[in-house]
Every structure is written in C-alpha cells, then in structure tokens.
Amino acid sequence: MAVSADTVQQVASLAEQKYKYGFFTDIDHVQAPKGLSEDIVRFISAKKGEPEWLLEWRLRAYRHWLEMKEPDWARVDFPKIDYQDLYYYSAPKSKDDGPKSLDEVDPELLKTYEKLGIPLSEQEVLAGVRNVAIDAVFDSVSVATTFKARLEKEGVIFGSFSDAVKNHPELVRKYLGSVVPPTDNYFAALNSAVFSDGSFAYIPKGVRCPMELSTYFRINAAQTGQFERTLIIAEEGAYVSYLEGCTAPMRDENQLHAAVVELVALDDAEIKYSTVQNWYPGDADGVGGIYNFVTKRGACRGRNSKISWTQVETGSAITWKYPSCILQGDNSVGEFYSIAITNNMQQADTGTKMIHLGRNTRSRIISKGISAGRAQNTYRGLVRMGPKAEKARNHTVCDSLLIGDRCGAHTVPYIESQNASARVEHEATTSKVSEDQLFYCRQRGIDEEDALSLIVNGFCKEVLQQLPMEFAVEAQKLVGISLEGSVG
C-alpha cells in the first residue's frame, strides 16, 4: 500500500526545517488493517510465522490490556489516543519473505540508512569507520543485520527478534517477559500483544562481545505505531555494549512508539545499554511528534553483575520512560546516566528505578534535565532498599537547567529504605543557565547559541562521557541542535 502523494508532499515541505531526519522514504508497504483486535494480534503473529505459545502469550497480554487503564500519573499532557485509529503492522513489501543477505535489501532502504548516517554496508565498517554491528529496524520489522557471521564465530547471537523466535525459540521462551511481565503496565501490555520486531542479543558464557551492537529504529509509515521488543541476555561473565538510535519523519500527526526492552545479566556479566533517542519532537507549536512510551528494565540476576543505562533523550513530543534495574544478585551494580533535553512544546517524564534486593548492591544515578521554550521536563525516580539489601548503596544526583522563563523543570524522587545498613543519598538542584557564563563566552567571540551549547554540554559532561566514543561526538552535536532557537 503506497502512501498518498499528499503526505509525501507535506513531509517534503517540512523537511526544510531543522530536524534533519525528517524525510520520508516512499516505499511500498504491507500493512495490517487499521485498529486493534484479537484478529490483528493473530495477523501479526501469523505474518511472522510464530509458534502457538507465542500467539497465546500475545493474546493473554491483549486481553489483560483491555482491562487496564492508561496511566495518568506522569507529568505529561496529551489528547486521548485512539488506539483503533492506528496501524499496528507495517513492513516494507520486499521484506515479506525477508532478505537473506544485505544484497537483497531494497536499495531505497539502504539509502535511507545512509542518509541517517548509518552505514549498513559492511565494507564501510570494515574500512574502520565504525566497529559496530547494526540491526536496522524499519517500521515494524528488522531489515538488515550486519556482521552476523563474525559474531556467530564468537557464539554471539545478534539479529532481529523474529529471527530469534525462529532460530532460538528456547532462549526467547525462557526470557521473554521474565523482566517486564506482559501485565507490567499499560504500554508494556500493549507492546506484548502487538510487538512486531526488535533486536535480540545473546552473549554466551565468558564471551566479551567483540564489537558494539547497535540497533537503529526508524519509524517511516504514517499513522503507524512502532512496538519493538528488545531482549538482551548476558550469560555468566559475558560483556556487551549495546546502542540504539531512533529517528522518524516529520509529520503533523502524533505517532505512538511503545517499546519494551528486557535485559538479563547473570553472574559476573555486564550489559551497557546506551540510547540516543531523537524521534521527531514535533514543531515549535507542538504539532506532531512521537509519543515515546517505553518500558526498559534490566535484571541483575547474578552475583557481581552490572547493568548500566545511558540515555540521551532529545527527541519525541512526549517521553515516558524509566529504564530500571532490579538488583537481585549480591554485589550487583545498577547505573543510570541520563540527559533529557526538552525544547519548544516537548514534555519528558523520565527517570529510573533502582530496586535493591541483594546484599551489597550498588546503584548510581546521574540525571541532567534541560528545559527550554515552553517544555516540561520531569525527573521521576525510585530508589528502594529492600529488607535484605544489606550494606546496599545508592547515590543520586539530579540537576536541572532552565533556559527561558516559560518552561518547567521538576524533580520527583521516591526514596524507600527498609534496611538500616543500606545508605541512600540523593541531591538535586534546579537553576538557570548562568548569565555570567554566557557573557564570558560571548566576550571571547563565541555566539550565543554556540555558547549555550558549550555550557550545556559541560553541564552534561558526566553523562556524555559514559557513551561509547563514536556516539559521544554525535550526542554532543545533538545537544546543541536540540537547543537551537532557545536563546536570543
């Protein structure tokens, strides 16, 4: 089903604006009929040739979702979503049978990813541009995964979630929903019912993944929800660093993105998960943009395991997202490093949960919120020390920066301790960008926007330095771009 010429034109005219990923790829799509029902769930499952147990799992989630209410506790405000007015499945037509190799991938798609700055050609990567294996997810499906062979040699499984269901059903069945149960929350339930694709990574015992794993998510089709599901398992002693990036075309409608990410780290394993989220944020008046309602959770199941979340959230009209760690294993470590930038009419309600269950577990939270324009930016976090979390430690620092007098910055931490030997320390500040700093930079010839970008990047330094090198540079630029138009 081709998208109407009307839309294409509309998008083309929008593309002149600052969001440089706002283009649309005109490509033939296979779409499920609009709306959500058990039939749609069956359609998606059938389309992917899924086993019966997975269909049942989806249907249970769907039925539960019907009974649930959309959460309203977050500090975000948006018109009611009509869940029957969305497409729940959209795939590039040529992918119907799936490309067997990169050569079979539609050249239009490859071009799209080139334009996004993500080379899917292995040649380029081998030439030393980046040492990263990439899984590219286009609307509802994974279109390409690079470096599969190289990874397989090490026993690392990395690819689309659909392939994992086909090729490693025992792993999927064992871990799917074990960290985020299908009934966990409204959006997780919805995702569980209709998720179409996503990435799957499995790092076997003792293996240090030889390259960064990365997924680029791209919403392309109109009126389409994206519901990806990511599952990463690090066996004993394994290590993996994973990065996801997200972009979408500019449209004057809102689009729903409700993803679920589950991480499992066993004894002595470490997962480093980085996100650069740059979904289309809508225009300066708040028209259009992605609703980003995401459930991300990692389970530190094993002793001495570690899960580290780093996020740079600059996009989306609305962000509702709390990457969390369940610190089950003794001595396990959870980290959350976050930069959330909201400008114009964007709203973000984001933070983390650190649930300390095991002895001697440790967590660290560094959150940097920047609010400009008429945006609202909320840090919401929970640190819980369970009764058995002997000697557990948490340290939290939440800093908010305000640029302009019409935006808001909010800090809502929940701190709960049921163990006397545990220690929680939380500090938060809110202030505006210093006039003194701005003037100082300008007196040295640096214009106001560059000065602001410099100062804000400095403010975010502790988080930016957590990102893998090649993405840190990209993220720094993004910080500057996101704040364009917020001064002067």
Partner 1 sequence: MLQIKDLHVTVDGKEILKGLSLDIGDGEVHAIMGPNGSGKSTLSYVLAGREGYEVTGGTVRYRDQDLFTLNAEERAREGVFLAFQYPVEIPGVPTATFLKTAVNAVRRHRGEAELDAMDFLKFVRARAKELEIGDDMIKRFLNVGFSGGEKKRAEILQMALLEPTLMVLDETDSGLDIDALRIVSEGINRMRGPDRSTLMITHYQRLLNYVVPDHVHVMAGGRIVRSGGKELALELEEKGYADIASAA
Partner 2 sequence: MTNRPEGLRARYLAAFPKTLDALPGAELGWLRSLRESALARFADLDLPEPRVEDWKYTNLRPLKASDLAVPANDSASADAPSGLPRFGDGARLVFVNGRLDAAASSPALPAGARLLSLGAALAETPDLLESDLGRLVPWQGEGVLALNTAFMRDGYVLAIDPGVEIETPIEIVFHGGAASHAAWHVRNVIRLGEGARATVIESHVGAPDAAYFSNPVTEIFAGPSSALRHYRIQDESIKAQHLAHVAAELAEKADMESFVLTLGAALSRNEIRVAIEGHHVECKLNGIYLQRGTQHSDNTTVIDHKVGDGRADEVYKGVLDDRASGVFQGRFIVREDAQKTDANQQSRAILLSPKARADAKPELEIFADDVKCSHGATIGELDEEPLFYLRARGIDTDTARALLVEAFLRDAIEKITCEPVREAFGKRVEDWIRAEKEGS
Interacting residue ranges for partner 2, rule: CB under 8 A: 73, 385, 400, 402-432
Give the one entry of partner 2, partner 1, none that residue 404 binds, where binding means its C-beta sits below a cut-off of 5 to 8 angstroms depending on kind. partner 2
Please, what sign has the CA dihedral across residues 93, 95, 97, 101?
positive
Are the CB atoms for 105 and 120 separated by under 8 Å? Answer: yes
Nearer to partner 2, 199 or 371 (CB): 371
State the CB neighbour count (10 A cutoff) for residue 405: 6
Assigned token pair, 345 = 């009419």
Stretch that binds partner 1, among 15-23, 240-248, 338-346, 453-461 (CB under 8 A): 453-461
User: Is 246 a residue that touches partner 1 (CB under 8 A)?
Assistant: no
Binding residue for partner 1, selected from 49, 79, 128, 445, defined by CB under 8 A: 445
Nearer to partner 1, 15 or 438 (CB): 438
Nearest to 411 by CA among 350, 326, 365: 350
User: Is 414 a residue that touches partner 1 (CB under 8 A)?
Assistant: no
Interacting residues with partner 1 between 462 and 481 (CB under 8 A) = 462
Are the CB atoms for 209 and 203 separated by under 8 Å? Answer: yes
**To the nearest whole angstrom, how small is the minimum distance from the Cβ of residue 440 to partner 2?**
18
**To the nearest whole angstrom, how small is the minimum distance from the Cβ of residue 431 to partner 1?**
12
Nearer to partner 2, 140 or 360 (CB): 360
Q: Distance (Å, rounded) from C-alpha 299 to C-alpha 302?
A: 9
**To the nearest whole angstrom, how small is the minimum distance from the Cβ of residue 322 to partner 2?**
16
Binding residue for partner 1, selected from 434, 473, 477, 484, defined by CB under 8 A: 434
Nearer to partner 2, 92 or 369 (CB): 369
Return the beta strands (E) in 35-172 as ranges.
90-92, 132-138, 141-145, 157-160
Give the one entry of partner 2, partner 1, none that residue 442 binds, where binding means its C-beta sits below a cut-off of 5 to 8 angstroms depending on kind. partner 1
User: Is 446 a residue that touches partner 1 (CB under 8 A)?
Assistant: yes
Binding residue for partner 1, selected from 437, 474, 480, 487, defined by CB under 8 A: 437
Provide the pairing of β-strand 376-385 with 408-417. parallel
Give me the helices (H) in 71-154, please.
107-115, 122-126, 148-153
Give the one entry of partner 1, partner 2, none that residue 173 binds, where binding means its C-beta sits below a cut-off of 5 to 8 angstroms depending on kind. none
Give the one entry of partner 2, partner 1, none that residue 434 binds, where binding means its C-beta sits below a cut-off of 5 to 8 angstroms depending on kind. partner 1
User: Is 52 a residue that touches partner 1 (CB under 8 A)?
Assistant: no
State the CB neighbour count (10 A cutoff) for residue 122: 16
**To the nearest whole angstrom, how small is the minimum distance from the Cβ of residue 472 to partner 1?**
13
Nearer to partner 1, 174 or 442 (CB): 442
Q: Distance (Å, rounded) from C-alpha 94 to C-alpha 101?
A: 13
Q: Distance (Å, rounded) from C-alpha 80 to C-alpha 78?
A: 6
HEC-encoded secondary structure of 209-254: CCCEEEEEEECCCCCECECEEEEEEECCCCEEEEEEEEECCCCCCE
Under rule CB under 8 A, how many of the chain's residues touch partner 1?
A: 24
Q: Distance (Å, rounded) from C-alpha 329 to C-alpha 266?
A: 8
Give the one entry of partner 1, partner 2, none that residue 459 binds, where binding means its C-beta sits below a cut-off of 5 to 8 angstroms depending on kind. partner 1
Nearer to partner 1, 78 or 440 (CB): 440
**To the nearest whole angstrom, how small is the minimum distance from the Cβ of residue 384 to partner 2?**
9
State the CB neighbour count (10 A cutoff) for residue 273: 23
Assigned token pair, 7 = 């839309």
Binding positions for partner 1, rule: CB under 8 A: 434-437, 439-448, 450-451, 454-455, 457-462
